[in-house]
Structure 1
Amino acid sequence: MARSLVDLLTTHASIHPDRTAYRYLVTGDTEGEVQHLTYGRLAARSRAVAAWLQEHGLAGSRAMLLYPPGLEFISGYLGCLSAGVVAVPGVPPQGRSQNHRALTRMKRLMADADAKVILGGREVIAALDGMAQHLPELDGIARIATEDIPDEAAAAWREPELTAESVAFLQYTSGSTSAPRGVAVTHANLLANERVITERMGHTPDAIAEHRNELIVSWLPVYHDMGLMGPILNTLYLGVTATLFSPLHFLQQPARWLTAVSRYRPHTSGGPNFAYELCLKHATPDLLDTLDLRSWKVAFNGAEPVRAATLRRFADTFGEAGFRREALYPCYGLAEATLMVTGGSVDTPPTLLEPDATGPHAGETDAAAVGCGRPGPGVTVAIADPERQEELPEGEVGEIWVGGAGVAKGYWRNALATRETFRATLPGHEGRFLRTGDLGFLRDGELFVTGRRKDLIVIDGRNHYPQDLELSAELSHPALRPGCTAAFSVDSGTEGEQAVLVAELSPDAAGESEKVTDLVRSAIGEAHGLSVRDVVLVHPGTIPKTSSGKIQRRATRAAYLDATLATVGEPGQL
């Protein structure tokens, strides 16, 4: 039985060395340049990187991985695992507009992880070398472009002494409600979560054979858990083939994603809800005529709130190209659980619970709760009262607690946060639970996620989930950008907590700001019975987001209170 992904790489390289493990679409286009990495070549390159790390006495230390999109990251990551080095995936500084943010995060992660070496692509390493005099954090830290490590180095590789509890890598959280923390993921955690992904997503031998080993197409960034655990590591776990391309190429032309799915006919492909919205925005009749999406079995949707309206529209629109409603696959996971916690059943449409006909969302079908499936094998999900730390009955909303072998070891060098987050217990349950900070409820064993506990808006004793307010606002006018709205509350003094909504407005609608503001107020009032203190319309791309694209509501709130938002005209105040 495999003890680690390193063992599995050795096995696959021995059994089918010439099989393509990963192909990379250099331009994002299926007709453009395509790079291939076989299992034999991957094993050789990973061992060469590992041997270099071992030779430089870095076993047991941390290595920051800073790679542009492409295949070299995979060899660097697996090289770390093959050397007993803890990998720390990071976002490489790239582009003038992103340099400051990427550098700030990189420095924070390097310091927290106490990284001893930086592995990266040639251009990234050259750029860091040029910045070294301005970055004292780089003093004493080795830097190597792994392309420059010769293949011959692999001969010196020594198999590391790995145990199930050895830390494989640090997955830093996106920091949507707090500063990023390094989740210490062990080799046992990795294998356990790959079993969950395999079982929940129906990656059976029969399904793999039916798809001719073509498992997945992905544009997701590999330095985040969603892009790493499924597209990269589940491919390796099963010894199959993945097709990858850059997130930037997807954002430039969302149709590239669907064209790649149509061309390579994988079993699985997916992304956050906003990705499906982008595809809908570019769904021209000409595009639909070129697509064949019949082979797409699992279109996973996670990492941010899954919207019922998006699911409906995507199925209706791309049904013309053979997409099946049963392929829609909402799921739930988080870095602290390695990744996947719950997922739907393959070939079964998602569960949509319409709001209570007598409740505040009566008739608002777009606010339907979306089921995120059931726990994977060996995973326990409980809904708890976070204050009393007691399990709640089915149907009641509380904090989502998760137990199982995929739950990570804890936060890197942060005993207090580890104890608060990873060491919860529940009467009637064995073992410890991870407190996710997410709110939700169970119905017939299926999980429904309702929001983040820290983001919950409480006004006049009533709970409001910010994503519900944000959705109502975005639906009020087409000029409001989907997934670019933040709702939060502020203390107004004598009147207590009041709601504020900040939304990005399309440039061509700047002259309609007053009308849009009135429509937002009206929509939230009608759907939620809530009066909004302030509606602030801002320029596109200015709402704070995490590196994975999640809205940072607390950062937006701070910018609002500091009056530093890039507003379009004057906000309408009550």
Structure 2
Amino acid sequence: MTRTLVESLLTHAAQQSDRTAYRFLVTGDCDGEIHEMSYGKLALRSRAIAAWLQQRGLTGERALLLYPPGVEFIPAFMGCLAAGVIAVPGVPPQGRAQNHRALNRMRRLIADADAKVILGSQGFMDIVELLAQQAPELDGTVRVATEDISEEQAGSWRQPDLAADTVAFLQYTSGSTSAPRGVMVTHENLVDNQRVLTERMGHTPDSLAEYGNELFVSWLPVYHDMGLIAPVLNTIHLGATSTLFAPLHFLQQPQRWLTTISRFRPHTSGGPNFAYELCLKHATPELLDSLDLSAWRVAFNGAEPVRAATLRRFADTFARAGLRREALYPCYGLAEATLMVTGGCVDTPPTLHTAAEGAPNAGEADAAAVSCGRPGPGVTLAIVHPEGQHELPEGEVGEIWVGGASVAKGYWRNIVATREILRAHLPGHQGRFLRTGDCGFLRDGELYVTGRLKDLIVIDGRNHYPQDLELTAELAHPALRPGCTAAFSVDAGAEGEEPVLVAEIVPQAAGETERITDLIRSAVGDSHSLPLNDVVLVHPGTIPKTSSGKIQRHATRTAYLEGTLSLVTALGAG
């Protein structure tokens, strides 16, 4: 077994130099322009970038990576690993309209990571140079467009001395409930999680042969852990071929995702729950008749709460296109565990549970708890009382703790958070544990995730999971945008905590706000016996989300209290 992904890449380049590692759909369309990169080309570009970094004495330093969607990010990332430079994937600037946001994020990442070099594409580096005029902290950084690095430099590359616990890259967390932190992912973490992912998703040699080495189709952003660790790095780990395209092209036309799966017939593809909802909204009879999804083996669903209603409707709708219910694959993971923690069994339909002790809304089919599968090999999973810090019996809801070689080394330059979150100890178990901050329970060895500890809404001594309230609200009227609702509580003085729900609606429904508000109140009241203190309808794009699409409930709550939401209407309790 190889010790690093760099070794995997070099092995595949030597054995199958001409095999396509990645193809990128430039326009997001299968019949449009396609860029391809072979294993030989990927290894050559990676070694050249690594040599350039080594020649400038940057080994051990941090490199911020800013690339548009495409294949050039990948040799830059692998070049950093091959040079012993710590890669820091960043969200690239996206033009003048987002320059302020891009500049602020760059400043935070550069300051926190103490980045000494910025790698990017030529077009993006031009934008960075403009931003640098407003950011004096960029003055000390080396900045280069990697297209300008000659491949002839590859010959001067030297294999660095990489230990198992050498930090490979910093994955900045999405920050759904707190400020983003740089998770230190080591080479051992990367290799171990590739082993977990490969086993859980059934990426066996026989499966790869059956699929002609077509492994992934992905539109997920490569600067995020789900888009990087799974479709990009698992491809290198296994020497397979994957098809990529831009997140924006998916969001503009969600049917592109399904059309690409139908065309290239990969073993695995997936995304957050909202992606499946978007596809359902565009599932016209004409689209369904044009698709062949029968080869789709693993349709993974993760990074945000997996909804039973979404799984049911997606399976029912796309069965007409050949989708098998057994392909639906809920899973659970997080950056602090490199990526994957649990996953379902391939060729087995998802398990739903409606009557487990502690499972929310027992008896409601659409709000059933969804199993996210079993831990990967070598992964230890425990459900722990968050205050008492003792393990809870099966069926009881507590905090999800994770142990194993995939758990990250720590948070970059944050000893306190590292000790509190990544160095927990559990009586009766050896080794350290990661406190995920997520709630869940175990049943028959399978994990059911119920929400975030910090997002939990407690009203009159009763626990309510915000995603349950959000789902109920979204099902109340078709004008509610899927995955664009935030539920939280606010201090109502003598009355204690009171629930508030903020929801985005489509522009065409602006004249129906009073009726929609009434339907939301009624649905939440009937399903959860919970009167809402306030229902606020807002314009699309108002509710803040993380880079992976998770609702930022705390940020929404702050905007609500500060009165900065883009309101369509806001009605108080009547």
Fold shared, TM-score > 0.5 on shorter chain: yes
Q: Which amino acid aligns with 1:256?
A: R
Q: In structure 1, the residue corresponding to 2:276 is in which secondary structure?
A: helix
- Aligned residues of 1:517 and 1:572 also touching (Cα < 8 A): no
Alignment of 1:91-110 (within 5 A): 91-110=91-110
1:52-102 Cα offsets, whole Å, 9 max, x none, are 000111010000000000000001000000000000000011033333222
Q: In structure 2, the residue corresponding to 1:425 is in which secondary structure?
A: coil
Alignment of 1:133-282 (within 5 A): 133-282=133-282
- Aligned residues of 2:356 and 2:395 also touching (Cα < 8 A): no
CA positional deviation for 1:569: 2.7
Q: In structure 2, the residue corresponding to 1:386 is in which secondary structure?
A: coil
CA distance in 2, matches of 1:301, 1:132: 39
CA positional deviation for 1:360: 7.8
- Aligned residues of 1:6 and 1:81 also touching (Cα < 8 A): yes
Q: In structure 2, the residue corresponding to 1:123 is in which secondary structure?
A: helix
State the partner residue of 2:27: 27
- Aligned residues of 2:99 and 2:131 also touching (Cα < 8 A): no
CA positional deviation for 1:358: 12
1:396-416 Cα offsets, whole Å, 9 max, x none, are 000000000000001001000
State the partner residue of 1:388: 388
Aligned pair 1:498/2:498, yes or no? yes
Deviates more, 1:549-558 or 1:443-452: 549-558
State the partner residue of 2:332: 332
1:497-546 Cα offsets, whole Å, 9 max, x none, are 11000001111111111111111111111101111100011111111111
- Aligned residues of 1:484 and 1:503 also touching (Cα < 8 A): yes
What is the TM-score normalised by the length of structure 2? 0.99
What is the TM-score normalised by the length of structure 1? 0.99
Tell me: CA distance 1:395–1:359, structure 2 relative to 1, closer, same or farther (3 Å). Answer: closer
- Aligned residues of 1:355 and 1:367 also touching (Cα < 8 A): no
CA distance in 1, matches of 2:521, 2:259: 39
Q: Which amino acid aligns with 1:520?
A: I
CA distance in 1, matches of 2:356, 2:216: 38
Unmatched segments (≥5 aa) in structure 2: none
Tell me: CA distance 1:357–1:132, structure 2 relative to 1, closer, same or farther (3 Å). Answer: closer
CA positional deviation for 1:219: 0.4
- Aligned residues of 1:355 and 1:365 also touching (Cα < 8 A): no
Tell me: CA distance 1:32–1:39, structure 2 relative to 1, closer, same or farther (3 Å). Answer: same
1:370-400 Cα offsets, whole Å, 9 max, x none, are 0000000000000000111100000000000
CA distance in 2, matches of 1:108, 1:351: 41
Q: Which amino acid aligns with 1:88?
A: V
State the partner residue of 1:71: 71
Q: Which amino acid aligns with 1:46?
A: S
Q: In structure 1, the residue corresponding to 2:220 is in which secondary structure?
A: coil
Q: In structure 2, the residue corresponding to 1:134 is in which secondary structure?
A: coil
Percent pairwise identity? 74
CA positional deviation for 1:354: 2.2
1:121-165 Cα offsets, whole Å, 9 max, x none, are 111111111222211121110100101101101111111110101
Q: Which amino acid aligns with 2:42?
A: L
Deviates more, 1:84-93 or 1:355-364: 355-364
| Count, aligned residues | 574
CA distance in 2, matches of 1:454, 1:431: 26
1:261-290 Cα offsets, whole Å, 9 max, x none, are 011110000000010111111111111111
State the partner residue of 1:367: 367
CA positional deviation for 1:355: 4.8
Q: Which amino acid aligns with 2:183?
A: V
CA distance in 2, matches of 1:35, 1:24: 5
CA distance in 2, matches of 1:100, 1:292: 43
Aligned pair 1:448/2:442, yes or no? no
Deviates more, 1:545-554 or 1:12-21: 545-554
Alignment of 1:378-457 (within 5 A): 378-457=378-457
CA distance in 2, matches of 1:571, 1:125: 46
Q: Which amino acid aligns with 2:497?
A: E
Q: Which amino acid aligns with 1:516?
A: I
Deviates more, 1:296-305 or 1:502-511: 502-511
CA distance in 2, matches of 1:127, 1:517: 43
Tell me: CA distance 1:355–1:532, structure 2 relative to 1, closer, same or farther (3 Å). Answer: farther
- Aligned residues of 2:510 and 2:568 also touching (Cα < 8 A): yes
Q: Which amino acid aligns with 2:260?
A: A
